[in-house]
């Protein structure tokens, strides 16, 4: 019998749950925010849908600051947004 368990994660913008592989993973490390597909990477993480509306909403509503419970520099968030848009 095959294990069909698929881990679900919640988008920080729309708050809907999706299979983990369908979302973009943002990881907070000691070097800042990074987009990672490596599930085994250490660090606190959050997830966001791969659509423009959720990306816009996450940045407009300070979703990353709320999720990680800390503030970020505007430049760091701008670089993250640019990186996310490139992969969507």
Residue ranges of domains in the chain: 8-87
Q: What tens digit of pLDDT does each residue of 10-67 get?
A: 999 999 999 998 999 999 988 889 898 666 667 789 999 999 999 999 999 999 999 9
pLDDT higher at 8 or 37: 8
Give per-residue burial for 12-25: e unless 16+ CB within 10 Å, then b.
Answer: bbeeeebeeeebbb
CB distance 16 to 10 below 8 Å: yes
CB distance 13 to 58 below 8 Å: yes
Q: Give the global pTM.
A: 0.87
- What token pair was written down for 83? 């990186």
- Out of 3.20.20.370, 3.30.1230.10, 2.60.40.10, 3.30.2310.20, the CATH code matching 8-87 is 3.30.1230.10
Q: Across-strand partners of 17?
A: 10
């Amino acid at each position: 019998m095959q294990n069909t368990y698929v881990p679900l994660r919640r988008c920080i913008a729309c708050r809907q749950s999706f299979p983990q592989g369908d979302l973009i993973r943002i990881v907070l490390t000691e070097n800042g925010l990074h987009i990672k597909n490596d599930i085994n990477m250490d660090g606190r993480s959050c997830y966001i849908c791969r659509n423009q509306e959720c990306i816009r909403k996450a940045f407009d509503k300070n979703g990353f600051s709320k999720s990680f419970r800390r503030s970020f520099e505007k430049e760091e968030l701008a670089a993250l947004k640019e990186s996310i848009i490139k992969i969507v």
